[in-house]
Chain A
Amino acid sequence: MFYTYDILDDVLKMTGAFEKYFDSNLGRNITRKSYPYVNMYEKDDNIVLNCIMPGVNVEDINIELIDNSLVIKGERKADSKDNDQFIRKERNDGVFHKSVKLPYDVDRDNVNASLKDGVLIIELVKSEEAKPKRIEIK
């Protein structure tokens, strides 16, 4: 049998591949999440969002706080040239637009955002009204 090894071959563990196939195809995935994917954390009086966006430059990201929603817009530009010869192309580029509703009112003047290793971290602080108020019992 003639078998050619080349960089096109992908050695995926077969057990994982089957599992993944059945998991993703049985039952429709109703929740259509939009890009970029976001995880939100609540740490005492702070809210932190981690957004996955590899290959996006700082100048191509626009973050706005509208009422109680964070709107993240931007563009991932392709990092290839027109005459690149591709053997395999899986990565996407293009524009994105996402709105995330925050669970609390936030202090609009106290927002920090940083971008590192393809992760956008947005830190917000709950507004005074949103912070828990201890009720005294007489």
Chain B
Amino acid sequence: MNTEVVKNNDNKSYIIPTVDISETDDSFILKADMPGVKKDDLDIVIDNEELEIKGKFSQAYLGNDDELIYQEYKAYDYYRKFNIGNNIDNDKVIAEINQGILNLTLPKREKLKPKKIDIKSE
């Protein structure tokens, strides 16, 4: 897992979760690695053609800073934003998080689904 960290305008550091995006005829499927995030701490927002993924690294998986004796990772919150244009049917988006992996199903708008054209023969 790569831990890419970015500093946003609020000068806070965030981890950019790695994603896999796949496509079927009906939808896009986005899977993001967000270990340490519980269901209630996950925030998905679609606004103005942008998909925003936010997750809070749960305190349950963090100890106190003064008890830390060895550190390989920084448990920042997660943040990533995608430009999705007008391709998604926002009302039918499904989000689930399990084992630290976000599973996001983004159904395509009807016009994007492949439509087979019939050929009339004489």
Contacts and interface: CB of A to CB of B under 8 A. Distances in A.
A43 B63 contact: yes
Nearest to A15: B7
Interface in B52-94: 58, 60-64, 67-73, 75, 80-87
Given A11-B50, A56-B99, A86-B20, A5 B84 contact: yes
A28 interface: no
Interface residues of B, number: 56
B121 interface: no
Contacts of B72: 33, 37-39
A121 B60 CA distance: 10
A123 to B, nearest CB: 11
- Name which of A39, A53, A116 has the most chain B CB atoms within 10 A of its CB: A39
Contact of A16 (B1, B7, B70, B97): B7
A80 to B, nearest CB: 7
Contacts of A9: 82-83
B100 A41 contact: no
Interface in A4-23: 4-7, 9-13, 15-17, 19-20
Contact of B67 (A33, A41, A53): A41
Contact of A117 (B58, B70, B85): B58
B20 A119 contact: no
Contacts of A48: 63
Given A11-B83, A55-B99, A118-B35, A88 B21 contact: yes
B37 A117 contact: yes
17 contacts: A5-B87, A10-B81, A12-B16, A35-B1, A39-B63, A40-B70, A50-B63, A53-B100, A55-B101, A84-B22, A86-B23, A87-B22, A91-B33, A92-B1, A117-B37, A118-B101, A119-B36
Which 8 pairs show the lowest CB-CB distances between chains A and B?
A118-B100, A118-B35, A5-B85, A54-B100, A16-B6, A41-B63, A9-B83, A40-B70
Given A43-B64, A48-B63, 13 more contacts: A5-B87, A7-B51, A7-B85, A15-B9, A39-B75, A50-B63, A52-B35, A54-B35, A86-B20, A87-B28, A117-B37, A117-B97, A118-B99
